[in-house]
A and B are shown apart, each in its own frame.
Chain A
């Protein structure tokens, strides 16, 4: 009884497996359908809502959003110098953070991937990932305490006649660079580890010194990884508002303006329009990255 039932069961399973085997597309569809569906709804849905919102208008007089298509918000963020300045400051900071992280991350990742012993490597990987496990707010507050006028940094630097940056743009850059460093180290580490050692030996064998091998072989082969890391550091900086509000000493970033307009003023259409700035910047950035051929060799 049960024997024939399981047999029938199995036969059905086999038929199904065969049917799927013959229709690889169907198989792929079943595999990817649910997560893709969720992504489309959650991701693109939110994005579309945001875009639609940006074309509405906040009526300050009645204190409500009016659903009436207009370009006013965009005109405002392009013409008003405050918005321009903040956008430029944010993008420049994001660029500076990315550069700082790339410069710091590369030697660390190189050491981890190609020099350190197995044990040291594992320890370093944990050391790099560990800060990501601790609270984001806690880390930023810790930095705030260190950076405050007359705080830890100032007292450490005092004996050599220097002062810390206090709460300023520079501090924001410093803290951002610290926060996103793991996101730069990990992809570069993975990228470096993927380069077969024989390629570096071949380069030396053909007459290249270490610096030439670095420039001609290592760097081009890890460029996709650096760009992957830079997408993290760049976009995370563009979108953040907590760090600037805690350590930037009153200067504003894109995130702060978006936050204020939604949370304080209630002008969601303007916030939505302004939120398009990082999206556009990221799109341009990705297009430029693609132009370098970084995605081809991925």
Chain B
């Protein structure tokens, strides 16, 4: 699936994962790798994690997405064993590890600050886990070399971490974790310190590596785009709770709460009087900006379309797209994105102040917070 376009960039991609780093594919494909049961963590006055239930399947690329302070890191650290839950249970592959120290868990972590040992060279860093577990020298050297080749750092073994760039350090941290063949790899905003270009490259690289080695990745990020592009499934965190769990398409196209609608993508909420005027029913609704068609005020409505009149308040030119903020006549505002197919930046920017008609398909309206969706509403009215 998503692998296709990625591997066609082959020149830049890591070599095929060497045998020693690949995990044997488990017999039962959907075995649970990590299971959290009512996990809570309280620091003094703050409840960092407020009761989380979660199941992550073996071999999955799972992201934890949420704003800063929403409890993602704390959750990850409890899985790693650096923090003990105040209450609740953590199971790794069916084994209760709630009270097990980090060194006895089959889990490895890629730290946000990389946490490379400054007094060891790259090879010693990568081989640390094997050395500690008394893997013999020859085997260790072989696996370290393979791991370094996989992250495209062959030949860097003798350098000190201080002699590497940020992206290279990041890859050393990744190799150091992967070389131990953990069953679960935890990554806490591993690309946070990299510049945009490098970050996008590393996103692809990480995803490819994950598919090659078949290890469960649990990936913490506050970047919704990153979570949407990389994950098989993701959990959206807010204030120590999980708001929604699902595939990227699920979470993006069918957000279940206003928070998710707002955090993943642009919120475009319609509520109260505005909802009544535009949608024709009570509740809180959302429409994705790219699902909205923006036309002249006098264009005729299509079948099965909802519409609203308004005035363009703001224009944000984004290169390939333009984002328009439209103040609705009924009150409130909607954000609309349009591709710049034939328009130039000049034309686009002149659109400010223009009266427009916004139209969208009924099925693209989502009801939030358990209110009836627009489709259900219709079914109720015309049985």
Contacts and interface: CB of A to CB of B under 8 A. Distances in A.
B103 A297 contact: no
A207 B131 CA distance: 9
Interface of A: 196, 198-199, 201-209, 212, 216-217, 220-221, 297
Contacts of B177: 205-206
B111 A207 contact: no
B134 to A, nearest CB: 10
Most buried by A among B80, B108, B115: B115
Contacts of A201: 80, 82, 102, 109, 111, 115
B176 interface: yes
**Which applies to chain A's interface (DSSP): helix, strand, loop or mixed?**
helix
A217 B120 CA distance: 9
Contact of A206 (B82, B108, B113, B119): B108
Interface in B141-179: 176-177
A196 B118 CA distance: 11
B119 A202 contact: no
Interface string B48-92: 000000000000000000000000000000001110000000000
Nearest to B112: A198
Contacts of A220: 119
Nearest to A221: B119
Interface of B: 80-82, 101-103, 107-109, 111, 113, 115-119, 128-129, 132-133, 176-177, 180
Given A212-B132, A221-B118, A221-B119, A205 B80 contact: yes
Among A199, A205, A297, find the residue whose CB has the most chain B CB atoms closer than 10 A: A205
B101 A207 contact: no
A6 B363 CA distance: 73
Contacts of B102: 201, 204-205
B180 A206 contact: yes
Contacts of A203: 117, 128, 132
B103 A209 contact: yes
17 contacts: A196-B115, A198-B113, A199-B115, A201-B102, A201-B111, A202-B115, A202-B117, A203-B117, A204-B82, A205-B82, A205-B108, A205-B109, A206-B128, A206-B176, A206-B180, A208-B128, A297-B119
Contacts of B117: 199, 202-203, 217
A183 B103 CA distance: 35
